[in-house]
Amino acid sequence: MLSCKLDNLLSSLKEYDATAHQLERKVCALASKVSRRPLNNSVPTDPRWDDEGFDTWAESSRLQFLRVDFIRSLHVTRKRFPAAQNVPLHAMHVGAPPADVQIFLCLHVWLGGDDHPDPGGHHLADLVTYLDNAKAGDADLVLFSFSAFPHRGWTAEPGKYVKPDSGVQGSKKRGDRWYDDRTDAQLEQKKRAESEWHRLTMYSPIQVIVLHRIPEGAARTEPLQSRAWLRMELTLSTYCQRVVNANDPEVKALAQPDALNDPIGKIRKDIEEGILKDDSKRVETEIFPTFRKSLRSLTLVIEDSVGFAAFCNAAGLLGFAFLSFANG
């Protein structure tokens, strides 16, 4: 009898924890709506970037930004980046960001196994250094994709990674294989976030930090330049002159005139030579269309082609070639 009561009590506690976790997420989302940067505000912004479009996307996908003071505390206490499902309420801003903060986007390679991109805290340590050098304030915000939208394996048991193929209760099945423990709402959130992820390099308040260091003993050692998607994001960030650590030799090596003048041609060539590991079909059907869409959103590039050509010429680039691949 006592054992039965204990089992019932434990079951009730688990349900309570799950409910409390869900309520925390809802409160966070509501709180963000109060403080978020209003749409169509009167603050003048750089016309090259679609700020209103960014706000709408960030709000609809409930994008999660980490506060800089939280990131610093993670480093000091030797903790790791939390999965998006486990970010504490006080540590993040959800949705369209306020107008009075600096936003930093992290471009990085995945260093760990399937469960975590930075298990040893190497990216975290480098990020804190770059944030300090950039004089980031505690209330400024950081976009780190692992913490920005729900990832597989982190929903079934809050705070703990469960392999997606382990068949935990609530997981979704594809054929005979369990593949995802995220809720339908979380999958929709992920889909919305990824659908316009390129906006992160096209939003004027954002500065980009490239986390390129590959520590000894990392589970994955592929350099940043071996992935077409990261190459595209870095190229866009370079065009927009938003890279915080642009003078790092590793970043400079990826921003050479030949790569910036004809990035699509350069990526195709690197795939043929085996430098890039991406599937060429996926690059042509997913990455390049997104790249061109991003370039077309830089309105001054298209509307002021003479001025942009002069800029490219001074920078050692061929502006008209840029315009041609921007238009497909």
Q: What is the pLDDT of residues 51-84, one digit of tens each?
A: 788 899 999 999 999 999 999 999 999 999 999 9
* Torsional sign, CA 261, 264, 265, 271: positive
Give domain limits for the chain: 32-221
When the pLDDT of each residue in the chain is averaged and rounded to a whole number, the result is 77
Report the C-alpha gap between 272 and 276 in whole angstroms: 8
- Which pLDDT band, with edges at 50, 70 and 90, does 49 fall under? low
* Among 216, 254, 110, CA closest to 245: 254
- Which pLDDT band, with edges at 50, 70 and 90, does 320 fall under? very low
The whole-number pLDDT of residue 21 equals: 41
Whether the per-residue pLDDT at 169 is higher than 70: the answer is no
Q: What is the pLDDT of residues 102-154, one digit of tens each?
A: 999 999 989 998 899 999 999 999 999 999 999 999 999 999 999 999 998 89
* Among 64, 67, 68, 223, CA closest to 133: 68
| Residue entry with tokens 């085996």 | 274
First to last CA, the chain: 72
Q: What is the pLDDT of residues 208-264, one digit of tens each?
A: 999 999 999 999 888 888 888 888 888 888 877 778 998 898 888 887 777 777 888
- Which pLDDT band, with edges at 50, 70 and 90, does 16 fall under? very low
* Among 172, 150, 158, 151, CA closest to 14: 158
Whether the per-residue pLDDT at 165 is higher than 70: the answer is no
172 pairs with which residues across the strands?
180
Report the C-alpha gap between 200 and 55 in whole angstroms: 11
- Which pLDDT band, with edges at 50, 70 and 90, does 306 fall under? low
Q: Which amino acid is at 146?
A: F
Per-position DSSP letters for 115-169, written without gaps between them? T-S-TTSHHHHHHHHHHHHTT--TT-EEE-HHHHS--TTSSSBTTB---GGG--T
